Structure 1
Amino acid sequence: MAHVETVFLARENSAPMEEVDSVDAVDGGLSGDRYQTGRGYYSPYDVCEVTLIEGEAIDEIREEFGIDLTDGRHRRNIVTRGVEVHDLLHTTFRVGDALLRGTRPRPPCAHVEQVAGEEGVARALKNRRGGVCADVVEPGTIRAGDELKVVEENPRTMGRKIAERLGL
C-alpha cells in the first residue's frame, strides 16, 4: 500500500526540517511551511506548494553514498513509501484528507547541499531521487501513516502500467 512515511516542515528559509505527525494542506501549500508563508529560499520565484520524495530513494542514497537523509535534510515535505513519485506527475491523488496534483520534478540544487551541511547530497538526489512538486487541489490534513491513493491518473503513466501488467 502506498502511504506517507514521514511529514516534514521548515518554518523559514534554510531552517532545519522539522518532523511533524500531521499538517494541514491549505491554499498555497502546507500550513506554516516556508513556501506557504513566502519565507522559502526560492520565494516567490520557484515555489513548490508540497514536495514529495520516496522513502526508497532515501534508502538507496544511504546504501550507495553513505548519506543518511532520514532526518529531513533532503528538504522535501512528504516521504512516501510504496509509490514512484514521478508517476504522480500530472496525476490527482489523495493523501489523508487532502487532494493534491503532481506538477513537476523537483531536482536537487546547490542550496540543498549547503543547508544539509554534507558534501555529495545534491549529487545523491539526482537521477529521479529528488522528488516531485504537487499543488493543493482540496485542503485537508495529512498525517504520517496516511494512505496515498491515485484519484485521476496521467494517461501516459496509466498506459505504461497497463503495458507492464500485460507483459508488453
Structure 2
Amino acid sequence: MAKVLSINISEIKGVIKTPISEGFFKVEHGLEGDGHAGKWHRQVSLLAKESIDKMIKLGVQDLTPGKFAENITTEGIVLHELPIGTRIIIGETIQEVTQVGKECHNGCAIKNKVGKCIMPTEGIFTRIVKSGVIRPGDKIEIMYQEKEV
C-alpha cells in the first residue's frame, strides 16, 4: 500500500525541510506556511523513500525526510513513473502531477549539503485540486492516470 511517511515544511525555497505532524494543503496554493507554495505549477514536491534509499546505498549518510526539500515523503509508489496529468488522492487532498524532475539551480543547498540531489530525476511536483489535511500514514491512491500515447 502506498502511503505518506512524512510531511515537511520550510519558510523559504531550496532549503532542507522539517517534518511536521500534519499539513493543510490549499487549492491552487500548496502546503500552507511553506516557502514553495503559491499560484504556480510546482505547489507541492514529493519524493519516495525508495529514491532516498538509493542515495543511502551510494554512501550518503543522515538522510531523513525533508533533506531533499520535499513536502511529502512517500513509500510504496514509484512517483517518477506517474505521467503528467495523473491525479492522486493523498489524505483529504486531490493532487495533479504537473512536473517530473527538475533542474537543480547553482548553489542548491541540498546538493551542497548532501553531495548529490535525487530530485532532478525522481522527485515530482503537483498542484492541489482539492484542499485538505495530510498526515503521516495517510494512504495514497491513483485516482486518474493519463494514458501514454
Q: Distance in 2 between matches of 1:119 and 1:145?
A: 26
Partner of 1:35: 36
After TM superposition, the score normalised by the length of structure 1 is 0.76
Residue 134 of structure 2 corresponds to residue 134 of structure 1: no
Residue aligned with 1:51, SS: strand
C-alpha RMSD over aligned residues? 2.5
Q: Secondary structure at the match of 1:118?
A: helix
Q: Distance in 1 between matches of 2:119 and 2:13?
A: 22
Alignment of 1:1-168 (within 5 A): 1-27=1-27, 28-36=29-37, 48-89=42-83, 90-110=85-105, 113-115=108-110, 117-118=112-113, 120-122=115-117, 125=118, 128-129=121-122, 131-156=123-148
In 2, the alpha carbon distance for the partners of 1:146 and 1:155 equals: 26
Would the aligned equivalents of 1:10 and 1:34 in 2 still touch at CA under 8 Å?
yes
Counterpart CA distance in 2 for 1:11 and 1:5 is 21
More helix by share: 1
Aligned pair in 2 of structure 1 residues 119, 152: CA closer, same or farther (>3 Å)? closer
Q: Which moved more, 1:8-17 or 1:113-122?
A: 113-122
Deviates more, 1:112-121 or 1:10-19: 112-121
CA contact (8 A) 2:44 2:127 kept: yes
Q: Which amino acid aligns with 1:8?
A: N
SS in 2 for 1:53: strand
- Give the number of the structure with larger relative contact order, counting CA–CA contacts within 8 Å between residues 6 or more apart: 2
Question: C-alpha displacement at 1:68, in angstroms?
Answer: 3.4
Q: Identify which range, 140-149 or 103-112, moves more after superposition.
A: 103-112
Unaligned segments of structure 2, at least 5 residues? none
Tell me the percent identity.
Answer: 24
Q: Is the 8 A contact 1:25 1:136 kept in 2?
A: yes
The Cα shift of 1:35 comes to 2.3
Alignment check: 8 A CA contact 1:94 1:100 kept = yes
Structure 1: runs of 5 or more not aligned: 39-43, 160-168
Q: Larger C-alpha radius of gyration, 1 or 2?
A: 1
Structure 2 distance, partners of 1:128, 1:63, is: 17
Q: Distance in 2 between matches of 1:155 and 1:111?
A: 35
Asked if structure 2 preserves the Cα contact closer than 8 Å seen for 1:35 and 1:47, the reply is no
